[in-house]
Amino acid sequence: MIAPLLLVAIAFVAFSLPPYLTFDPSRSRVPVGGAVRGYYPLLVAHVIFGSVALLTACLQVWPWLRTRFPEVHRRTGRVYVFAGVLPAGTIGLIIGALTPFGPVLRASNVVLAIVWLTVTITGYRAGRQYRLADHRRWMIRSVVLTLSIITNRMWAVVWVITLVPQLQTTFGGNEALMIQSIAGLSGWLGWVLPLLVAEWWLDTRRAPESPVANQVSNPVPGPAAAGSRA
């Protein structure tokens, strides 16, 4: 299960990241011609930190790594949080509000950034307090939101296929409006639906309450394991 996920993440990063490593605005996949000053450097930073989060997220949900090499898991977890989600989410909050793809996507980006940062910080704090059951649940949510960049693109393909033939009818030939509609729908569905599915999955696997549900024997310092039990 982890191998396909990791391959998809690597392929996505290999496709998305290289144009931004040139620091050439003309190669940006997001239009930056009319963007405010400083938008492009923030976009580059967001893509780089987001790539770190995406790749380390796959390691965090690897049960074998978590159980066999807990120290490696903890170290990659710190990378995931401090070199991935926190900088990518903070920058995303800024550039998300400035996206050229319309107000619907702007709203989605801002809400996503706030939720992503909140669940990640909550999960990290739970790990530091050795509340491992809570830690795993919150970090599963965090990883789902990290991976939502991929589901966002999948929805974009669906809406392109669905809405492009309606350019002259539904959108009256207004291509900009169609693109904003595709971006807005993809943005919201890309993270809200996976998060709802994750909540359903977590509820179905919720263990009965017990005094030791959030405890481990012989705890070791540092954030505890994150990830699924799948």
Tens-digit pLDDT profile for residues 120-150: 999 999 999 999 999 999 999 999 999 999 9
In this predicted structure, the answer to whether residue 79 has a pLDDT above a threshold of 50 is yes
Q: What pLDDT sits at residue 206?
A: 73
pLDDT tens digits, one per residue of 18-37 = 999 999 999 998 888 766 77
- The pLDDT-based confidence of 170 (bands split at 50, 70, 90) is very high
207 DSSP 8-state letter: P
In this predicted structure, the answer to whether residue 215 has a pLDDT above a threshold of 60 is no
The mean pLDDT value for 39-65 works out to 95
Tokens standing for residue 214: 């959030």
Residue written as token pair 């893509």: 47
Q: What pLDDT sits at residue 214?
A: 53
- The pLDDT-based confidence of 208 (bands split at 50, 70, 90) is low
The rounded distance, in Å, linking the Cα atoms of 130 and 127 is: 5
CB under 8 Å to 109, separation ≥6 — which residues? 92, 93, 95, 96, 97, 99, 187
Class of residue 181 by CB neighbours under 10 A (exposed 0-12, middle 13-18, buried 19+) = buried
- The pLDDT-based confidence of 157 (bands split at 50, 70, 90) is very high
Rounded to the nearest integer, the mean pLDDT of the chain is: 89
Rounded to two decimals, the pTM is: 0.86
